[in-house]
């Protein structure tokens, strides 16, 4: 992932830097960040602002880890809000609510670094750079909690820029430009794409689809993408779905669209939800293309199951019961499912439809869940109601077959689960 950022992002910034009138001075990259920001704030014209913004981004790109950390602390400490100004503005608004006092309160509540982010984003490649900066901030935050407000401000800006209204859904095919296909290979986060032949098997056959969201400010870099298998029934094995020698059904015979891999592409966009909109839009597009589709499911990993168990279930039936119990009943402190993939799909309106033993024979599948996988079912007519229901109750909705796996007495289930106390 970093290699793509280093090449395409860097070329975007360089292009912006040198698209200027002849006779202007070359960017000065050895100046301190504080001096460059001061120059940016003093700049009178948009051209000057863009040139200095590009210089800041160029300097950031070449900075080492410590220099970037110093930059983050500068933004966190010197470009924060003024608590006294906020207090005074809030008191003035409370005493005399008006457009003027509200505007003053809003201005006082807006950190100076927000204005910097807006200016940096105006440079070609700037929005992409800010996504990468947030990724670095989130890494630094693990050892420096004082950067939390900086992370929140960056997230707030990115939520506004990357909202659903700006995202464009595009199919990814074997004819998609190679620079984008390279990124699909690099960003695949669920089932590794080993080489170009492997990618071709996921894109080219008539029973395969891939879709990605793009943003106008990052037109050649996907935000999130989903891989889909068109099948005659609900699949229970990723090895069968990805098999080179699988039988490919005629399109008129397919009844099920299986979302078998969903990959977020940028760590800097963590916490900004795209998956819900992606699944719904892809389902609508597939329904328009193939009206005979009846079922929309996932074939998903259970990445944290083994971590919650003290021993491996003794056979396939015990494994299925353990998986069903883990997904439906094991909770975090806030009452939501312990498994992150379950939280994602249930929060987007799906139900736990079925579990399968021996579904992922890879080393990763074995280490995550002893090879078990799960289907989450999306009933498009009920998705919105289920989103609200799950948000309110945090109860995992399950199918009859999952319910039947949860029926044995708890004394037996304890043996199946083997969960640590």
The CATH number given to whatever domain includes residue 226 is 3.40.630.180
Q: Are the C-beta atoms of residues 359 and 242 closer than 8 Å to each other?
A: no
Backbone angles phi, psi at 231, to 5 degrees: -135, 165
- Asked if residue 291 and residue 189 are part of one domain, the reply reads yes
Per-residue pLDDT tens digits for 137-156: 999 999 999 999 999 999 99
- Asked if residue 322 and residue 267 are part of one domain, the reply reads no
Q: Which residues pair with 385 in a beta bridge?
A: none
Cα–Cα nearest to 343, from 334, 290, 123: 334
Q: Is the pLDDT score of 270 beyond 90?
A: yes
For residue 146, what are the domain limits? Answer: 2-161
Q: Are the C-beta atoms of residues 327 and 340 closer than 8 Å to each other?
A: no
CATH of the domain at 123: 1.20.140.90
- Asked if residue 178 and residue 121 are part of one domain, the reply reads no
Q: Is the pLDDT score of 15 beyond 70?
A: no
Pairing of strands 224-231, 256-264: antiparallel
Cα–Cα nearest to 215, from 277, 153, 257, 284: 277
pTM of the model: 0.85
Q: How far apart are CA 113 and CA 65, in angstroms?
A: 20
In the chain, % of residues over pLDDT 70:
90
- Asked if residue 185 and residue 140 are part of one domain, the reply reads no
Cα–Cα nearest to 377, from 400, 401, 353: 353
- Asked if residue 234 and residue 214 are part of one domain, the reply reads yes
- Asked if residue 143 and residue 106 are part of one domain, the reply reads yes
- Asked if residue 288 and residue 172 are part of one domain, the reply reads yes
- Asked if residue 190 and residue 106 are part of one domain, the reply reads no
- Asked if residue 133 and residue 221 are part of one domain, the reply reads no
Q: How far apart are CA 401 and CA 399, in angstroms?
A: 5
Total Cβ atoms within 10 A of residue 140: 18
CA-based end-to-end distance of the chain: 38
- Asked if residue 156 and residue 8 are part of one domain, the reply reads yes
Last residue of a domain, one of 109, 141, 161: 161
Q: Return the ∠ at Cα 380 (arms to 262 and 356), rounded to 5°.
A: 55
Last residue of a domain, one of 275, 298, 321: 298
Last residue of a domain, one of 110, 129, 161: 161
Q: Is the pLDDT score of 125 beyond 90?
A: no
Q: Indicate the number of domains in the chain.
A: 3
């Amino acid at each position: 992932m970093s290699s793509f950022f280093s090449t395409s992002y860097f070329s975007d910034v360089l292009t912006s830097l040198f698209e200027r009138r002849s006779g202007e001075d070359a960017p000065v990259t050895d100046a301190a960040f504080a001096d460059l920001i001061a120059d940016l704030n003093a700049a009178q014209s948009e051209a000057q602002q863009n040139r200095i913004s590009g210089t800041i981004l160029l300097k950031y790109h070449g900075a080492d880890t410590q220099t970037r950390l110093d930059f983050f602390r500068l933004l966190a400490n010197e470009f924060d809000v003024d608590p006294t100004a906020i207090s005074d503005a809030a008191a003035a608004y409370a005493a005399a609510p008006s457009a003027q006092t509200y505007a003053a309160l809003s201005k006082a509540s807006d950190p100076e670094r927000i204005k910097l982010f807006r200016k940096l984003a105006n440079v070609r490649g700037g929005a992409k750079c800010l996504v990468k900066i947030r990724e670095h901030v989130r890494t630094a935050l693990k050892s420096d909690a004082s950067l939390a407000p900086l992370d929140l401000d960056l997230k707030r800006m990115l939520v506004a820029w990357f909202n659903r209204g700006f995202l464009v859904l595009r199919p990814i095919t074997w004819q998609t430009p190679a620079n984008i296909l390279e990124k699909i290979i690099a960003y695949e986060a669920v089932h590794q794409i080993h080489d170009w032949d492997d990618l071709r098997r996921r894109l080219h056959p008539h029973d395969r689809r891939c879709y990605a969201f793009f943003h106008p400010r990052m037109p050649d870099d996907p935000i999130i993408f989903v891989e889909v298998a068109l099948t005659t029934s609900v699949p229970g094995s990723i090895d069968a779905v990805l098999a080179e020698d699988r039988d490919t059904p005629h399109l008129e015979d397919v009844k099920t669209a299986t979302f078998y891999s969903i990959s977020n592409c940028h760590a800097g966009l963590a916490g900004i939800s795209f998956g819900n909109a992606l699944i719904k839009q892809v389902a609508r597009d597939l329904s328009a293309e193939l009206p005979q589709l009846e079922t929309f499911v996932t074939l998903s990993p259970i990445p944290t199951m083994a971590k919650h168990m003290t021993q491996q279930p003794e056979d396939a039936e015990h494994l299925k019961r353990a998986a069903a119990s883990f997904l439906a009943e094991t909770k975090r402190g806030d009452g939501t499912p312990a498994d992150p993939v379950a939280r994602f799909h249930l929060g987007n309106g799906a139900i736990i439809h079925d579990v399968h033993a021996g579904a992922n024979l890879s080393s990763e599948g074995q280490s995550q869940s002893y090879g078990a996988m799960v289907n989450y079912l999306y009933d498009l007519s009920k998705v919105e109601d289920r989103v609200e229901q799950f948000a309110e109750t945090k109860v995992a909705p399950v199918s009859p077959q999952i319910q039947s796996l949860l029926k044995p007495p708890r004394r037996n289930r304890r043996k199946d689960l083997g969960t640590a106390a």
